[in-house]
Structure 1
Amino acid sequence: MKRYIVNLLVTTLAVLFVVWVLDWVQIDPGQNKYIVGLKVAFVLSILNAFIRPLMLIFTLPVNILTLGLFTFVINAVVILFADSIVSGFHVAGFWAALFFSILLSLTTTFLESILGIEQ
Structure 2
Amino acid sequence: MRSFIVRVLINGLALWIASWILPGLDITTSATTEAVAKTGVSQGTDAAGIVLAYLFIGLIFGLVNAFVRPIVSFLSLPITILTLGLFTIVINAAMLYLTSWISSYTPVDFTIDSFFWTAVLAAIIITIVSLVADRIPGARHR
Fold match (TM-score > 0.5): yes
2:23 is matched with 23
Tell me if structure 2 keeps the 8 A contact 1:76–1:101. Answer: yes
- The residue identity in structure 1 corresponding to 2:128 is L
Structure whose alpha-carbon radius of gyration is higher: 2
The number of residue pairs the alignment matches comes to 119
* 3-state DSSP of counterpart to 2:68: helix
Tell me if structure 2 keeps the 8 A contact 1:63–1:71. Answer: yes
Say yes or no: does 1:89 pair with 2:106.
no
Tell me if structure 2 keeps the 8 A contact 1:22–1:100. Answer: yes
Tell me if structure 1 keeps the 8 A contact 2:11–2:61. Answer: no
Structure 2 Cα separation of the partners of residues 8 and 39 of structure 1: 8
* Greater helix proportion: 1
Q: Bigger CA drift: 106-115 or 52-61?
A: 106-115
Tell me if structure 2 keeps the 8 A contact 1:11–1:108. Answer: yes
1:1-119 alignment, distance < 5 Å: 1-28=1-28, 30=32, 32-87=49-104, 88-93=109-114, 94-114=116-136, 116-119=138-141
Q: Deviations over 1:40-66 (max 9, x none)?
A: 111111111111111111111111111
Tell me if structure 1 keeps the 8 A contact 2:96–2:123. Answer: yes
2:46 is matched with none
Give aligned-pair identity as a percent. Answer: 32
Q: What is the root-mean-square deviation in Å for CA atoms of aligned residues?
A: 1.8
Q: TM-score, normalised by structure 2?
A: 0.75
Structure 1: state its 5+ residue gaps.
Answer: none
Q: TM-score, normalised by structure 1?
A: 0.88
